[in-house]
Amino acid sequence: MIDLKVVHLNTYDGNGGAGRACLRLSDALKASGIDSKVLVYYKFGQNPKIDTFSKTPIQKAMAVYNILSERYYAKWLSKSVKTPFSLQWFGKSIKNHPEVKNADIIHLHWINHGFLTPKFLAELDELEKPIVWTFHDSNAFTGGCHVRYGCENFHQQCGNCPILKINGDNDISHKTWLRKQKAYGELNFHIIAPSNWMAKSVKFSSLLGTRKTSVIPNTIETNVFKPYVKSEAKKILKINPDKFVLMSGFMPSKNDKHKGTPYLIEALEILSRRTGIQKSNIELVIFGNKENAEMPEFPFKTTFLGTINKDDHLAKCYSAADAFITPSLEDNLPNTVMESLACATPVIAFTTGGIPDMVKHMQNGYLAKYENAEDLANGIEWLYHRPNKEAIQKAARLSILSDFSEEVVAAEHIHLYETLINLQPK
């Protein structure tokens, strides 16, 4: 293995799935002997392992201005739909930053919200270094949206965007597409898709369909997210050990399209009416959001854990559950699914996005038909009546250790880095 200095670039420090995935990868690489560092545009926390481009008061103020401007302009120009959209009008040049200039590999992650515009991305080609870009969502190959749902405009040149208030052939999405086309024509980079679904999406895109793409998943700290004895974990949450516990993550408004909350509500209603289901024996646990006026009503006793900031406690919460349910309608490689499986808790989800890369139907979880609440309820009932739950729990844990552990994922990245280094002109 050759000596490598890798710098990872992300907008935020762990604020969201991409930030967590970025830091987890960097830690895994360091554990494998790589000089790996994370640099973010704006740093919220105090993690000493993460550096930032915005250190001085003036730099921080400028970053806040860019971030807020990007977000509010996008909100003003978009319809009132829960689909994130980025304009990439505001940004920062980083080509002269010492850590970027001295790196052997520049690894891009999530770079929206006022960080890197197409113009500032193209500048990185001047450094003549291998550039790798992990696509944590679809924004890199669309005219602005991060979640596509059924829209296929990215197959062409975007335009007529269903998200924008003012749309047409030459709307903002098409103009953004053209800016990206120009920038990508000046920038050589290798794409990493965390899931097969994302890789397939890239191939269909008009912007990047011919680019080289490797499928390498995100990783997880398997020594932190690990199984605990379920009965003991339930006691920690003050739940009767004999209860069948269903867990789900962040519950936004029931009108939120991306997270699929209405399907979860409907599935639980269906389940509660079925014969053979003892309602008093089932409890729902939700983390990531406190109980509030927008929280929907569920047909089972529900415990709201709020935001959990400590991963070891989060692992115990996963371990307390007999099943983790995610009704997401489009997701790349969701951290919550990986975390749950690592804690030996089977996952019940729709067959969508990168979830089938992790959940194997009726082996370590259940893949329901897309947007089918009835089948989501079938998955819960299947596990509820399953006599050999321990075998499914064991399969859940083993699936993460074999394909998503730090050692496995770090080795795949290192192999790619070395290949790209060797392809550089001597």
Q: Please report the pLDDT score of residue 424 as a whole number.
A: 85
167-199 per-residue burial string, b: 16 or more CB within 10 A, e: under 16: beeebbbbebbbbbeebbeebebbbbbbbebbb
Q: Are 4 and 106 in contact (CB under 8 A)?
A: no
Q: Please report the pLDDT score of residue 15 as a whole number.
A: 67
Q: Exposed, middle or buried, 267 (CB in 10 Å: 0-12/13-18/19+)?
A: buried
By percentage, how much of the chain surpasses pLDDT 70?
A: 96
* pLDDT, mean of residues 177-189: 96
Q: Is the pLDDT of residue 2 over 80?
A: no
Task: Supply 287's token pair.
Answer: 């983390």
Q: Please report the pLDDT score of residue 330 as a whole number.
A: 85
What tens digit of pLDDT does each residue of 321-355 get?
999 999 998 888 999 999 999 999 999 999 999 99
Q: Under DSSP, is residue 419 helix (H, G, I), strand (E, B) or coil?
A: helix
* pLDDT, mean of residues 354-365: 96
Phi and psi (nearest 5°) for 194? -70, -15
* pLDDT, mean of residues 228-238: 95
Q: Please report the pLDDT score of residue 293 as a whole number.
A: 46
Q: Which residue has the tokens 């975007």?
A: 158
Closest CA to 227 of 315, 322, 308, 314: 315
Task: Supply 74's token pair.
Answer: 């996008």
Q: Is the pLDDT of residue 193 over 80?
A: yes
Fold match flag (5-219+405-423 vs 230-403)? yes
Q: Is the pLDDT of residue 17 over 70?
A: yes
Which CATH architecture is the domain 5-219+405-423 placed in?
A: 3-Layer(aba) Sandwich (3.40)
Residue type, 338: M
Domain residue ranges of the chain, discontinuous segments joined by +:
5-219+405-423, 230-403
Separation of alpha carbons 396 and 275, rounded Å: 28
Name the CA radius of gyration of the chain, rounded.
22
Q: Is the pLDDT of residue 213 over 80?
A: yes
25-48 per-residue burial string, b: 16 or more CB within 10 A, e: under 16: bbbbbbebebebbbbbbbbeeeee
Q: Are 26 and 134 in contact (CB under 8 A)?
A: no
Task: Supply 269's token pair.
Answer: 């209603």
By percentage, how much of the chain surpasses pLDDT 90?
A: 85
Q: Please report the pLDDT score of residue 425 as a whole number.
A: 81
Q: Is the pLDDT of residue 295 over 70?
A: no
The pTM of this model reads 0.91
Which CATH architecture is the domain 230-403 placed in?
A: 3-Layer(aba) Sandwich (3.40)
Residue type, 318: Y
Q: Is the pLDDT of residue 37 over 90?
A: yes
Distances (CA, A) of 228 to 35, 231, 245, 321, 343: 33, 9, 15, 11, 7
* pLDDT, mean of residues 101-110: 97
Q: Please report the pLDDT score of residue 250 as a whole number.
A: 65
pLDDT bucket at 252, cuts 50 / 70 / 90: low
Phi and psi (nearest 5°) for 304? -105, 115
Q: Is the pLDDT of residue 421 over 60?
A: yes
* pLDDT, mean of residues 411-424: 95
Q: Please report the pLDDT score of residue 1 as a whole number.
A: 65
* pLDDT, mean of residues 189-204: 96
